[in-house]
Structure formats: structure tokens, C-alpha cells
């Protein structure tokens, strides 16, 4: 092999090695968590990022939105709801006003667990009340404060609107656009960490969760809200009281 050919061969080998090293560096960089272009700088690991939104009533969307111990009971009650739904509010208030009995007879003894699957199915084009209220609720769930926030929110909505016939039923006067300050006040009064809440909201995690939740709910809760699934029992709509809820529990096998 002459000297010229030898130099060409060595040069080719060097170029090939440099190309291989470059590819390795690129692959490592792209797979590094710090270089993920899709990750929000405000995002943090949370339940919201791992929601399943399964139509299966036996697969919770988020265990932080389940009342009771899902893993220790065979009976799982599912409610599809919307924060602006007056009848959903009536169901929630019946549970809230009978909270002690709900827990002593059904939850604390692991007879059943109860999940709220929150959507914005009643979203109005000119108002974002349903969507925004649900975003706050999903972000509260990241702090394991979903039920604190949701119960406080439904109580406030009843006080300000539902009990006055506003947004309480089909054809009722509409609830006006609500500013973020309305949701912030409820969150603060229910013990939600405001800094973490703000970070979650700005990251878009709550918005993404609401979108996926609503898409899933439209496939299964098509007959109106609130919609319920409890073992083999399904129904929709609510205009009753605690006695009505207990009949629903009984129809589901409790």
C-alpha cells in the first residue's frame, strides 16, 4: 500500500469515527429529560399527568378524586359531573349535608368508594365557566385537595346561583362569566396551596385533563348530567335528596 492510499484510508476511518460519536451525542441529548421540548418549565410530576380517562367504571381517572379506598372495596360508584350543572350541584349538596352518614355507612367501612369524573360538557361558547372551574378542580386534585375544593365550590355555587334559580335547571337564567378571582377565593378557603395551584394552571395540565375527560365522558355519559354508574346500575339526572341517593346505592348492590 503506497503512502497516499494509506493516508486516504486513515482519513476515512477518522471521519467515520467522528460521525459515529456525533450520532451518539445527539441520541443521548434527545433522550435527556432536560432537553424535552414538550415539557412545560412549570410542570411537575403529578397525578394529572398519568390520568387514564378510561370509560371503564372500575378504572379510576385519578385516585385523588375518589372518596374512600378504591383498592379495598369491590363497589365503585361513578358520577359524571360538570361544575356548572345545577342538578350535579344538588347531588353534591345532598352528599355534603349527609357527610357523616355517607362515611359511617358506606365509605369508612369500605362498602364502597365514590368517584367524581369532572367534565366541561355544559361549556358555553361565550363563557368558559365549566372549563375553568374544572381546571381548578384537577389542579386541586394534584394536592389531594379535590373534594375539599369541589365541595366548597358546589356550596358556593348553590349560595350564589343555584338556590336563586340561576343555572339550576334547563331553561333557567344563565350563570354569568366568572372571573378567576371567584375560583381563587374558593381554593383559598378550601386549603389549596395557591402557589402550587398557579403553577399547575399555568402549565396547562388542568386544561389538558379537562379536555381528555370530556372526550371520554361524551362516549359514556350521553343521556345527560349528572350521569351515574354503580356496578350494573346506571341512571342520569338528579332531583332528589339523601334518601334518593341511598336508593341508588341499593340499586347498585349495597
The DSSP call for residue 172 is S
Taking the model in full, what pTM does it have?
0.78
Looking at residue 53, what is its pLDDT? 81
Of 117, 58, 51, the C-alpha closest to 88 is 117
Task: Give the 3-state secondary structure of 89-109.
Answer: HHHHHHHHHCHHHHHHHHHCC
Looking at residue 35, what is its pLDDT? 29
Beta strand ranges found along 68-210 (DSSP E): 76-81, 113-118
Q: Is the dihedral of CA 65, 210, 177, 92 positive or negative?
A: negative
Q: Kind of pairing, strands 113-118 and 76-81?
A: parallel
- Per-residue confidence at 5, pLDDT binned at 50, 70, 90? very low
- Cell reading at 158: 348553590
The angle formed by the CA atoms of residues 178, 138 and 102, to the nearest 5 degrees, is 100
- Please, which residues bridge with residue 6 across strands? none
CA separation, residue 128 to residues 23, 93, 158, 175 (Å): 47, 23, 18, 11
Q: How far apart are CA 187 and CA 121, in angstroms?
A: 22
Looking at residue 1, what is its pLDDT? 52
Please give the distance of CA 56 from its chain centroid, rounded to a whole number.
15
Looking at residue 163, what is its pLDDT? 97
What is the arithmetic mean of pLDDT over 207-235? Answer: 89
Amino acid at each position: 500500500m503506497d503512502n497516499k492510499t494509506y493516508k486516504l484510508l486513515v482519513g476515512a476511518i477518522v471521519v467515520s469515527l467522528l460521525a459515529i460519536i456525533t450520532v451518539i451525542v445527539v441520541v443521548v441529548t434527545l433522550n435527556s429529560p432536560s432537553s424535552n421540548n414538550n415539557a412545560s418549565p412549570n410542570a411537575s410530576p403529578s397525578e394529572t399527568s398519568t390520568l387514564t380517562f378510561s370509560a371503564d367504571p372500575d378504572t379510576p381517572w385519578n385516585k385523588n378524586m375518589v372518596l374512600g379506598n378504591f383498592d379495598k372495596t369491590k363497589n365503585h360508584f361513578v358520577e359524571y359531573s360538570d361544575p356548572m350543572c345545577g342538578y350535579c350541584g344538588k347531588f353534591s349538596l345532598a352528599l355534603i349535608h349527609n357527610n357523616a352518614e355517607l362515611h359511617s355507612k358506606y365509605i369508612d367501612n369500605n362498602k364502597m368508594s365514590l368517584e367524581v369524573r369532572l367534565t366541561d360538557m355544559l361549556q358555553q361558547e361565550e363563557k368558559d365557566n365549566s372549563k375553568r372551574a374544572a381546571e381548578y378542580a384537577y389542579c386541586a386534585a394534584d394536592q389531594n385537595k379535590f373534594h375539599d375544593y369541589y365541595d366548597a365550590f358546589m356550596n358556593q355555587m348553590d349560595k350564589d346561583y343555584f338556590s336563586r334559580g340561576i343555572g339550576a335547571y334547563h331553561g333557567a337564567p344563565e350563570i354569568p362569566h366568572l372571573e378567576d378571582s371567584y375560583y381563587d377565593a374558593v381554593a383559598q378557603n378550601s386549603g389549596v396551596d395557591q402557589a402550587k395551584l398557579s403553577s399547575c394552571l399555568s402549565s396547562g395540565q388542568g386544561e389538558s385533563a379537562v379536555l381528555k375527560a370530556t372526550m371520554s365522558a361524551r362516549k359514556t355519559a350521553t343521556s345527560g348530567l349528572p350521569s351515574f354508574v354503580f356496578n350494573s346500575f346506571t341512571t342520569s339526572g338528579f332531583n332528589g335528596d339523601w334518601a334518593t341517593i341511598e336508593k341508588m346505592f341499593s340499586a347498585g348492590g349495597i
